[in-house]
Chains A and B, each alone.
Chain A
């Protein structure tokens, strides 16, 4: 597969040239709209899950054609990198279908699953805290989620800085932050008796150099972590991505291929977003030789939930399951930092988990919320919903969406929710957990709870 990356690099110097404005405002939106119309791909606003195999195949075909007609836009050279159909089929044919992450007793293998498969998607919990500079508190929060029975791995959240050290990006201060995050979640995994946990990828590493520092340090390794190689927004690429992919290849690190389309920005709706995810995935497979794919959508209106979001995620997953067959992951959260006591957030997170189960996904990342109890719920719901058929899952999501929710109290200090001496939840948090567990059980999800 390496040869395709070299061909792509050459095409960044020889492909059709155009301004980014023309690409963004004319070529890309015109062609993707034509392909969606040609293949009769239609979103039904009443349906949270897309389970039609014929439409999934149409999404796959449209994604392939998008790469052949438009290709990737290279921001460094302003040229298009197009693909031939035979290249794309070669990429698909030579794919690895399983990926093993983590080591020892904590090693997990992502095997292909489909809707109705009783094997649950793995649940990787968010560890630490957003926007904090307090490394000690960050580590404590990571320990809280690492100890959860349904935790299958940790995704370190980005620190805001390290203590009072000024974070100067593009310098070793940025690399230090990346290493401290890794050290903290590694310590949490050790403390929880799970030294072999998968530790995600160094999310704070924003340059190839940061990523190389992260793996050179030995904190992140090819056995416990993956390396991001994602394309840029709406079919764009730059030379950093090739460099990251090449480094990962040489170091034997699994690439983290990621596609996160934003609905209603330059994409007219879920149909186009699903097609874009397939095109992104095939392109990343071509230059990174990767298999592990993360695909999640969000809305330019600022939400990670709603039928348009879940439809996109499930449609892309089914299209990939039927035609590409690579380990598939999505986002397991509503990304609401004030959601610890919000019914809306808890139910939104549960819907994301159910969507993954009935869309044949293999794992969920940042699964849960701002507290370990939200993660616990997400892990439990994912296990309980795994055997559901697409129809059963769709019906459950529709019922959950209609449940009357209590008003959210907003942001609650973590000290009110957890005891930091023993890392156990306090009554306020437990009451929310029990309330939501009761609702999920009443709606037909049967599972043991760790109360």
Chain B
């Protein structure tokens, strides 16, 4: 008996990259509809992994590796879609980085969650200044800027980013969302952010909402 989408779901959920890639190829070659392979295999596996993370049975590192596994499978599936059906939501670009400090855990998690949700993430890393976000957004034609703010001095810098975008007359062009340990909703609103996320997963729903 051949492998099923359940096997692919398990391979993605348990972060078995090579096995997931091979299964994706096999299922598509067997004529399984690409949408089923994507939704019931890859995305269901990621969802199961996410549930384990919430239950403290998986860690950020697993999510990162899960994202890499999914990103290995997704292009194979996209190529199998009949022309015109694939990638309807693809192409939305997000510039992401940590303002000023060295912290990367939350940022990496947001990067993974956005990537596996189909966004093209341009991670500019840590210790970033407002100009870095603007410059990358212009370079790649971003649809949204996401900022991780993890310690006090970076809070002011986030305000500087909003002011910079206004000064350069691109504020309307780039929705800006923010999150991080020292931030809260009232502050984000006062700073002029378009959205604030308490948890990393909120970045996905905010991005969906703001890039419609």
Same assembly = yes
List residues of A whose CB falls within 8 A of some B CB: 24-25, 29, 75, 130-131, 158, 160-161, 166-169, 174, 204, 206, 232-233, 236, 238, 262, 264-269, 299-302, 308
Instruction: Kindly identify which residue among B60, B106, B153 contacts A264, using a CB–CB cutoff of 8 Å.
Output: B60
> B100 touching A25 by the CB < 8 A rule?
no
Is chain B's binding surface mostly helix, strand, loop or mixed?
helix
The answer for the CA separation of A204 and B151 in the assembled complex, in Å, is 9
Establish whether residues A169 and B156, one from each chain, have CB atoms under 8 Å apart when the complex forms: yes
Main secondary structure of the interface of A (DSSP, over half): loop
- Is the C-beta of B64 less than 8 angstroms from some C-beta in chain A? yes
Set A75, A167, A300: member contacting B105, Cβ < 8 A: A300
Q: Determine the chain A residues whose CB is within 8 A of the CB of B104 once the complex forms.
A: 233
Closest to B154 in A: A169
Given the known interface contacts A29-B61, A264-B56, the answer about A233 and B103 at a Cβ–Cβ threshold of 8 Å is yes
Q: What is the distance, in angstroms, from A187's C-beta to the closest C-beta of chain B?
A: 21
User: Which A residues are CB-close (under 8 A) to B47?
Assistant: none
Asked whether B153 lies within 8 Å of A169 as measured between CB atoms, the reply is yes
Minimum distance in angstroms from A270 CB to a CB of chain B:
10
**Contact A302–B199 (Cβ < 8 Å):** yes
Using known A-B contacts A169-B153, A174-B153, A265-B59, determine if residue A25 contacts B105 with beta carbons closer than 8 Å.
no
Q: B59, B105, B187: which contacts A233 (Cβ < 8 A)?
A: B105
Kindly list 13 other residue pairs between chains A and B, CB separation below 8 angstroms, not including A75-B102, A299-B56. Answer: A130-B182, A131-B187, A160-B155, A160-B156, A169-B153, A169-B156, A206-B101, A236-B102, A238-B102, A262-B105, A264-B60, A266-B60, A301-B56
A-B interface, 7 closest residue pairs, ranked by CB to CB distance from nearest: A169-B153, A265-B105, A265-B60, A158-B152, A167-B156, A264-B59, A266-B61
B153: which A residues are within 8 A, CB to CB?
167, 169, 174, 204, 206
Residues of A within 8 A of B157 (CB): 169
Would you list which residues of chain B between 85 and 123 have a CB under 8 Å from chain A?
Answer: 100-106, 109
Q: Does B136 contact A (CB under 8 A)?
A: no
Contact A161 B156 (CB under 8 A): yes
Residue pair A166, B156 in contact (C-beta under 8 Å): yes
Residues in chain A near residue B100, CB distance under 8 A? 169, 206
The number of chain B residues with a CB under 8 A from chain A is 29
Q: Name the residue among B54, B109, B155 with the largest chain A CB count within 10 angstroms.
A: B155
Residues of A within 8 A of B156 (CB): 160-161, 166-169
The CA of A264 and the CA of B59, in the complex, are separated in Å by 4
* Identity of the chain A residue whose Cβ is nearest the Cβ of B157 in the assembled complex: A169
Question: Taking the nearest CB of chain B, how far is it from the CB of A414, in angstroms?
Answer: 16
B182 contact set on A, CB distance < 8 A: 130-131
Contact (A300, B60) CB under 8 Å given A160-B152, A166-B156, A204-B153: yes
State whether A266 touches B56 (Cβ < 8 A).
Answer: no
Contact between chains at B60 and A25 (CB < 8 Å): no
How close is A159's CB to chain B, nearest CB, in angstroms?
A: 8
Complex partner residue of A267 from B59, B65, B101, B152, CB under 8 angstroms = B59
Q: What CA separation (Å) do A166 and B127 show in the bound complex?
A: 20
Contact A204 B59 (CB under 8 A): no
CB distance from A385 to the nearest CB of B (A): 28
| A158 CA / B156 CA spacing, docked (Å) | 13
What are 10 A-B contacts defined by CB distance under 8 Å?
Answer: A25-B65, A131-B187, A166-B156, A168-B156, A232-B102, A233-B105, A264-B53, A265-B60, A268-B59, A301-B56
A75 to B65, CA, bound (A): 22
**How far does the alpha carbon of A177 sit from the alpha carbon of B186 in the complex, in Å?**
23
Is A204 a contact partner of B105 (Cβ separation < 8 A)?
A: no
